[in-house]
Chain A
Amino acid sequence: QVLLVESGGDLVKPGGSLRLSCAASGFRFSDYYMTWIRQAPGKGLEWISVINHHGNSPYYADSVRGRITTSRDNGKNSLYLQINSLRPEDTAVYYCGRGSAPPDYWGQGTLVTVSS
């Protein structure tokens, strides 16, 4: 079955960096666009990034553009999200999703907390 498992979330200080991973299984990873969304505590869902099959031309939301990089390794069935210059408002659960328009499966999420 389709399984997406995020990891890498942590408590980091403002200005720090973090790399999140999403391990995919149960489907041909290279056939799918992949999506990242996030959810701040007690808030709604926020779409932040999408990447195509080949890993080129990622697209980012304005709220994170310039501070994040989405990449993938199709050989490892893995999706990544590099977040730099972390701010308290980046505190959220980060979810990866299979597909883009729209995603049909979601992982369980990984928590990023930005605090001094």
Chain B
Amino acid sequence: DIQMTQSPSSLSASVGDRVTITCRASQGIGDDLAWLQQKPGEAPKSLIYGASSLQGGVPPKFSGGGSGTDFTLTISSLQPEDFAIYYCQQYHTYPFTFGPGTKVDI
């Protein structure tokens, strides 16, 4: 199975900060990488697919980059509603594994 790692596991930030989360795959996955957001008590929400393409309705303050094994998710200006856990997921090879998550809080 492809193993996904994320760093940091958690971070503290302030409203207005620019934040970057890193995701690494144990082998090359091209750009078959998605990012999801999950707020406490809620279902996950898909943000990005294809490493850098925004899902419909997702604001452009979210951006993704990378290919191969190393990927990033950047939030350009944190707002209160952005405090959540962010997961990366590879969909290159079954099983489509998730990273362990990065918690973004104040």
Binding site for B on A (CB under 8 A): 35, 37, 44-48, 50, 59-62, 95, 100-109
Contacts and interface: CB of A to CB of B under 8 A. Distances in A.
B87 A44 contact: yes
Contacts, number: 57
Contact of B43 (A35, A50, A104, A108): A108
Contacts of A100: 91, 96
Contact of A44 (B56, B95, B100): B100
Contacts of A108: 42-43
B44 A95 contact: yes
Interface residues of B, number: 24
Nearest to B48: A102
B36 A101 contact: no
B89 interface: yes
Given A37-B98, A106-B46, 4 more contacts: A35-B96, A44-B98, A102-B34, A106-B43
Contact of A95 (B43, B91, B95, B97): B43
B6 to A, nearest CB: 10
